[in-house]
Amino acid sequence: MPVDSAAYRNAISRFLTGVTIVTTVADEKPSGLTATAIASVTLEPPTLLACLNRHSTTCQAIVQAGRFTVNVLASDQTDIAKLFASREMDKFQQLAVLGHGIETGSFGTPHLRGALASIDCAVSATTDIGTHRIFFGEVQQVQCAEGSPLGYFRGAFVDRPGV
C-alpha cells in the first residue's frame, strides 16, 4: 500500500538537512532559490546532485546555462534562506537591501558573501522524477570558509543544529 504524501512529509521532516542557495546566470540575469535537496554523489569525479522543482525559473535557467553554484549557508543567513524561498521577483536586489552581497564566481554565477562554501558545477546529467529535475553537477571549483551551518528540521530553519 503506497504511503500518502502527508505521512512521507512528516517522516522526512525529521531528517536534518543543510540549507543552500542554488544560483546560476542565464541571458545575463542571475537566478537562485533555496534548496535542501543537495547531496554529494561521488569524489571521482567530484559530483553532487541538486534537486529542483521543474517549474522554477532557476531550474529553467540551469537547463539553459548548463552550470550552477551551490552556496552552503552559514547559521547567521536565515534571512537569505527565507528570501530565496519566497516568490520575491528580484531576490538579488533584495539581498542588497538586507545588507548582504554577492561576488561573481568563475562561471559568472553568484556566490553569496558569508556562505560556508560555494561549489561551482557543470551539469553532467539530468533526470526527471515527479515534479522535480535532478541535476548532476561535476564540481569545477570550490571556495570554503569557517563557521557553523544553517540547518532545516521539521519545517523550520535551525541555526544551531544539534544544540
Question: What is the mean predicted confidence (pLDDT) over 34-48?
Answer: 97
Question: What is the mean predicted confidence (pLDDT) over 11-40?
Answer: 95
pLDDT of residue 98: 86
pLDDT of residue 99: 86
Whole-model pTM: value is 0.94
pLDDT of residue 161: 62
Q: Topology of domain 16-148, per CATH? A: Pnp Oxidase; Chain A (2.30.110)
Q: Rounded distance, CA 61 to CA 46, Å? A: 23
Residues 6+ apart with CB under 8 A from 148: 74, 75, 159, 160, 161
Share of the chain above pLDDT 90, in %: 88
pLDDT of residue 106: 83
Mean pLDDT (the chain, rounded): 94
Rounded alpha-carbon distances, angstroms, from residue 65 to 35, 106, 118: 18, 14, 17
- Backbone φ and ψ for 105, nearest 5 degrees, come out as -80, -175
What are the structural domain ranges in the chain?
Answer: 16-148
- Inform me whether the pLDDT recorded for 77 exceeds 70: yes
pLDDT of residue 41: 97
Tens-place pLDDT, residues 57-74: 999 999 999 999 999 999
Tens-place pLDDT, residues 93-152: 999 888 899 999 988 999 999 999 999 999 999 999 999 999 999 999 999 999 999 999
